[in-house]
Amino acid sequence: MPDPSPLSRRIDALPDTFCRLMSDPAVSESLARADESKRRLAGMLSLDGVEQSAIDEYRRDWLARYVYDSNAIEGSTLSLKDTEQVLEGGFLPARAPARYIFAARGVADGMAYVKRFVDRRHPLDIDVIRRIHEITALDVQPALRGEFRPYGYIAHIRGAAVKTADPLEIRDDLEVLVAAVNGSDAHPILRAAGFHAMFENIHPFADGNGRTGRQILNMMLMQAGYEPIAIKHDAGRTYAELLEQWQAYGDPAPLARMVANCVVREQDRIGKIVSDIRRGHAMAGHARGVRK
């Protein structure tokens, strides 16, 4: 039997990698902040009608930002306003390339599917991965959506010193990766970050791997009760470098911290919305009491 590829060895080593990350003080601190933020948010439930309406509006805005950022990382020239128009089903942006319009619609539709999988407590598996890609990569040729790279199709990650999986090894690598994260008792954010790094390293599809990988990252976060994250497009180079540090140089800590910090930011934003509304209600109630 031939020796496993460096990528296969990195996937096999994920349990040890997770253990090392848990012993990293900076990573542990970031994870603790994410968990504390999650507890604070949970402690604010249940929401009244005004609060729920404000959160629903925030999440609609978040989806537009997420779609915009995820596609901009991949080179889309749609602006945030253009993206909002596409998602609202209004007039399509003038002179916008059709592939970017399809890409925006695909990421939004893909996130809707992700939420369904989360609501149904559907475990991560190969069929889910393929389905998420099929829906998300709406700008990709239909014959390639949901299908792994064919034999002879070698993928290259632009600007990165990372070798992707041989097409003949894609399914085996993905199956081992899925089993490794599903069977791990490591912190959920570490498992999500680890899956994301190795998924992008495998690069199983001909196109749309980044967008699909970020959908699955959010699926794993939401399954664990965290808020989904939107990695800003202007951090794209840094984000790519953090992926590469894990994939090519064996340094997973920076990416793990980034994911945890993004979770904290999203959860704190939602918590602030609720706190501000309640503070406003309290001040209004106090004012009425004074007038009496």
292/271 Cα distance (integer angstroms): 32
Q: How many degrees, rounded to 5, is the angle at CA 74 between CA 73 and CA 80? A: 55
Taking only the tens place, the pLDDT of each residue in 8-48 is 999 999 999 999 999 999 999 999 999 999 999 999 989 99
On average, the pLDDT of the chain sits at 92
Query: In 90-224, which ranges are E strands?
Result: none
Tokens 């399954």, located at residue:
223
Residue spans of the domains in the chain: they are 6-154+163-277
Q: From the candidates 133, 203, 233, 281, give the one annotated as an active-site residue.
A: 203
Quote the CATH superfamily of domain 6-154+163-277: Fido-like domain (1.10.3290.10)
Does 203 qualify as catalytic in the annotation? yes
Binding-site residues, please? 207-214
As annotated, the binding site for ATP includes: 207-214
pLDDT of residue 236: 53
pLDDT digits (tens, 9 = 90+) for 150-195: 988 878 777 667 899 999 999 999 999 999 999 999 999 999 999 9
How many residues can be counted in the chain?
A: 292
Contacts with 79 (C-beta within 8 Å, 6 or more apart), sequence order = 68, 93
pLDDT of residue 1: 44
Query: What does the alpha-carbon distance between residue 44 and residue 41 come to, in Å, rounded to a whole number?
Result: 5
Low-confidence ranges of the chain (pLDDT < 50): 1
Q: What is the predicted pLDDT for the residue at 92?
A: 75
CB atoms within 10 A of CB 75: 11
- C-alpha R_g of the chain: 20
